[in-house]
A and B are shown apart, each in its own frame.
Chain A
Amino acid sequence: MTYVGQPVDRLDGTAKVTGEARYSAEYPYPNMAYAALVHSTIARGRITRIDSATARKTPGVLAVITHENAPPMKPAPKMTPMDLSTLATGTTVNYLNTDEVHWNGQPIAVVVAETLEAAREAAHLVEVEYAEFPAVLDFAAEEGNATPQKNSLISEGGAKKGDPDAALAAAPFSLDLRYTTPGHNHNAIEPHSTTAFWDKDRLILHEGSQNIAWTQGHLAVRFDVPKENIRVISPFVGGAFGGKTMVWPGTVLTVLAAKVTGRPVRLMLTREGVNRTVGGRTPSIQRVAIGAEAGGSMTALIHTSITQNGKVGGGPEQVTSQTRHLYDAANLQVQQNLVELDTIANTVMRAPGESIGSFALEATVDELAYKLGMDPIELRARNEPARNPIDGKAFAHRMLLECYEVGAKEFGWGERSPEPGSMRDGKWLIGMGVASAYHPAWQFQANVTVRLSADGTVLVRCGFHEMGMGAATAQAQIAADALGVPLGAITVEYGDTALPTGPGAGGSGQTASIAASLITACEKLRRSVFSVARKTPGSPLRGRRFADVRAKDGGLYDGSRGESYQEILRRADRASIEAQVGSDTRLGEITGQVRFMSKFLMDRRRWVKAACGAQFCEVRVDSDTGEIRISRWLGVFDVGKVINAKTAASQLRGGIVMGIGMALAEETLVDPRNGRIMNAGLAEYHVPVHADIPSIDIRYLDDPDPTMPLGLLGIGEVGIVGVAGAIANAVYHATGKRVRDLPITLDKLL
């Protein structure tokens, strides 16, 4: 392979750094109007009075839309496995079609004006009075009301093997620990923005989205138009991390505002607006209990969690997911539990579940290693399973111990003196920690077309998503290799519902999903081109067999006999030849859906597929103040075959940076007295700054997973998993203090 695996520069790099790449708030329309939201300031109740008279008088105001004058919208659709876009509902509230308030910050009015400034000023002038109802707002206080999560087709709430309680009680060494993690918000660099324009009954929507097909399907239901009437355009997304997967109120209300005013309307949420109207990661309370023999063998492993849903939506997080797969405990139990609060719906955020679940699991394993007087890597090795611990299924690919082996050597793990507080550099206490990363490999449906033109260029079309990770570059590399053309011959079109329907960017599954279809489409295309060539008089490929033909040097060749694609098409007098995988007709959609579900279920019966890795970190803790600085990081990953060495390393590194934020800083502060987020901005919601991040070394084994397209495993999320655990373990090694409540701030070390 010429391009796959190489550190190819992003194809959109120049467009991005020159500002040529357009984000959804940057599409100009003549006669544009601007929207601003008014948010509720109570958690639950009814609006008894909403006075927009002053707001309307603001010069430039076109409309103040409230529940008193908004046109009706259809309610959010009910979930059905036959139409996955029904999963896109952010919250079930029918915004501005009700006087009810369901969370603190819910949009209760939209102002549309000639300028952004006028819209925001008028939004400030809308006066609201409420009748307040009692509300459930304190996650910690709801612990006693948690109910077990039920198993569903795509999400399992719990499982049990053997008798873990008895095994735990009988174990010579045991731990039973409690952990908490706070809520988080994604805070992607691009705040959510929407530009909407109704051309009669057809809607054009520019929206930073991780799932344009879901957005299209959801809006079609809400505005009662055929899906085909809605075009969602989203070629560039300024980061998302899960926060742009569902359809949130800002999107719906911009479309509504465009309908009411008959103008193109743009809504750019403020950072505060994003925090108030887009769900975040749920807080959690977790229990991890492990029983072990003196030799380290785990006899019991129990991991349970409580997370929060909004009463208006959200879903369970697979907090205990990795615990099903990581350790070969003879008796094993996982169970996820849920509470419901009067808050905005929670939503997916980078490695939902594993990122916070691995913190609790990996910290407990480290604590057990200390209890046993054993190296934590050795303890993991002694519990490495040959088959999936919870159900005995085969692993499709599993090189976790190899990751530890490479990592330990590269990181100098052997130079660590295990005694806590024993490594010091002046006032700095030094600690080293490890933890395992684990993330399931997903694959979704992807429709793709590939067209070869007479000039030898290739157009790949698929409505997928570019959130900054280099998705299009990876697909161009794959197509160039599959067709034997230079990378420069490939153009990839994406981020538009006018294209064949692509997969969502989620579950670390986008690249594998498109790759599977793209490889098939390229194969089809080679066959079509070959059969054209075979039939064309004068072609050197006449009489050849397809099996002997290779795509290389920009054409098809059997040994030295063959010719360039340009020659083949010119000789056959063809302008282009196209191949297609999947279809966007109604029938094609259903067929695709059925094929996807049956492959998904069959795969799941046969295999456990996942990416994994070993996180190594070194921390320095100020012995006077407890300030924690990460001084070194190495992540070694088993992510199958890497498509682009540069963007893959960058994405894994980004996951680690985000994990450092989770470990040391990030926390959404929800005031339990009124359910209001009190740090809805980047000054108070801390993410790491450059000075917090050391040089991060990334290695990967590059060993293909035979069950995945090209052998690749998704890399979007595995990088964040294990990071908080590794840091907590390093902090213990440095200070002798176990911090079991994230974030690990200095006050917890004093």
Chain B
Amino acid sequence: MKDFAYVSAQDVATAVRAIAEPGAKFLGGGTNLVDLMRQNIERPDTVIDITRLPLDRVEELPDGGVRIGALVRNSHLAAHRVIRTRYPMLAQAILTGASGQLRNMATVGGNVLQRTRCPYFADLAARCNKREPGAGCDAIGGFNRNAAIFGASDSCVATHPSDMCVALAALDATIELESVRGVRRLPLVGFHMLPGDSPQHETAIAADELITAIELPELPVAARSRYRKVRDRASYAFALVSVAAALEVRDGVITEARLALGGVAARPWRAHAAERALMGGPATEERFRLAADAELEGAVAQSQNAFKIELAGRAITATLRQLQVEGSAA
């Protein structure tokens, strides 16, 4: 690991001033950045420790929404009463991620910004357009069993690994960013970029910005929601496919639906097409499957991951069915 300077920021103003220096990186829980530094994929000159910033609270807002400080630890958020009761899919999503130890360290802001787990991104000997724009992509034609089925390009087929973000996408969360230039808010849906021909641009954050908070809107439908993660082992594995779903059914008719998928794209994938197909329809297995198919129509497989298209269809259908039958209980 390269030698680096360590700065501990005590307030947001200091932190966003410090990040303006070239080669500076924010350090939250460090569960991703430190690994990448050990692998020489990240080689910052300065690490700005932001864990002492006062951004570690979960607050209920007067408008019914919830404001989550960017430095709230994942495990704290998952255990929070408001999240568990009003947004169960979010609590469940977080608890399927990583391990207890990692969740105790990892921050909400860091989770949003975590990097892909594509093995070719992680190996400096491989070609990767994310790491080195224009170098090529060894995942195409290589080990891509867990690559994207939506929004991939000839430059990159990587997926975003977060579980939490899948729930945030379904919940229409907003990201608050701050820099010396001021504060702005962006919807989480669309915050992560599809690769196109510049997969090095992963999110809409500017180089000098700090995520200060995530805000959830008031969303009654979310109280009946769940998160289903399908993976190769029972714990401590990234999703092959995951589903965040919320459903409101009145008299057997779907009146509101929220659906997002994980493990399928460079962004948490809000399944708008499936939501449209559900709306106004009967809450039946057939309708769930039709909705899944509507979303998956646009899916494209790599050489090793065609199964993910079938798996996503089954996971969507099963999650909606379970939500309808069992409610939110994890």
Give me the interface of A with B, judged by CB distance under 8 Å.
41, 59, 104, 117, 120-121, 124, 427, 624-627, 629, 664-665, 669, 671, 673, 676, 678-681, 683-684, 686, 688-692, 745-747, 750
Bound-state CA distance A625–B318 (Å) is: 9
| Chain A residues within 8 Å of B141, by CB | 673
Bound-state CA distance A690–B143 (Å) is: 27
Q: Is the CB of B237 within 8 A of A686?
A: yes
Min Cβ gap A105→B in Å is 9
| Chain A residues within 8 Å of B132, by CB | none
Whether B114 sits at the interface, judged by CB under 8 Å, is no
> How does the 8 Å CB contact mask read for B151-172 relative to A, with 1 for contact and 0 for none?
0000000000000000000000
Bound-state CA distance A41–B138 (Å) is: 14
Whether B315 sits at the interface, judged by CB under 8 Å, is yes
Q: Is the CB of A625 within 8 A of B315?
A: yes
Q: Is the CB of A629 within 8 A of B3?
A: no
> How does the 8 Å CB contact mask read for B120-154 relative to A, with 1 for contact and 0 for none?
10110110000000000010011101000000000
Bound-state CA distance A294–B145 (Å) is: 43
Bound-state CA distance A683–B99 (Å) is: 12
Chain B residues touching A, majority SS? loop
Bound-state CA distance A408–B40 (Å) is: 54
Min Cβ gap B149→A in Å is 13
| Partner-binding segment picked from B54-62, B65-73, B228-236 | B228-236
Knowing A665-B232, A746-B230, A746-B232 are in contact, say whether A625-B314 is a contact too (CB < 8 A).
Answer: yes
Bound-state CA distance A691–B307 (Å) is: 24
Knowing A120-B1, A669-B119, A678-B119 are in contact, say whether A624-B315 is a contact too (CB < 8 A).
Answer: yes
| Chain A residues within 8 Å of B315, by CB | 624-625
Closest residue of B by beta carbon distance from A60: B3
* The residue from B40, B119, B120, B314 contacting A624, defined by CB atoms under 8 A apart: B314
With a 10 A CB-CB cut-off, give which of B119, B141, B317, B318 has the most chain A CB atoms: B119
Whether B80 sits at the interface, judged by CB under 8 Å, is no
Q: 4 shortest A-B CB distances, which residue pairs?
A: A691-B234, A747-B307, A624-B318, A41-B125
> Other CB < 8 Å A-B pairs besides A625-B230, A747-B311, 20 of them?
A117-B1, A121-B2, A121-B3, A124-B40, A624-B315, A625-B311, A626-B311, A669-B143, A673-B141, A679-B119, A686-B233, A688-B233, A689-B233, A689-B234, A691-B235, A692-B234, A746-B230, A746-B240, A747-B145, A750-B311
Interface residues on B, range: 20 to 34
Interface residues of B in 224-282 (CB under 8 A from A): 230-237, 240
| Chain B residues within 8 Å of A679, by CB | 119, 143
Bound-state CA distance A300–B143 (Å) is: 39
Closest residue of A by beta carbon distance from B308: A747
Q: Is the CB of B311 within 8 A of A690?
A: no
Knowing A624-B314, A625-B315, A750-B314 are in contact, say whether A676-B123 is a contact too (CB < 8 A).
Answer: yes
| Chain A residues within 8 Å of B231, by CB | 627
Q: Is the CB of A678 within 8 A of B120?
A: yes
Q: Is the CB of A678 within 8 A of B311?
A: no
Interface residues of B in 208-235 (CB under 8 A from A): 230-235
Closest residue of B by beta carbon distance from A627: B230
| Chain B residues within 8 Å of A746, by CB | 230, 232, 240, 311
Bound-state CA distance A461–B72 (Å) is: 56
Bound-state CA distance A627–B317 (Å) is: 15
* The residue from B1, B310, B317 contacting A121, defined by CB atoms under 8 A apart: B1
| Chain A residues within 8 Å of B307, by CB | 747, 750
Q: Is the CB of A671 within 8 A of B40?
A: no
Closest residue of B by beta carbon distance from A684: B119
Whether B17 sits at the interface, judged by CB under 8 Å, is no
> How does the 8 Å CB contact mask read for B1-35 relative to A, with 1 for contact and 0 for none?
11100000000000000000000000000000000
| Chain B residues within 8 Å of A665, by CB | 232-233
Q: Is the CB of B142 within 8 A of A673?
A: yes
| Chain B residues within 8 Å of A669, by CB | 119, 143
Closest residue of A by beta carbon distance from B316: A624
| Chain A residues within 8 Å of B234, by CB | 629, 689, 691-692
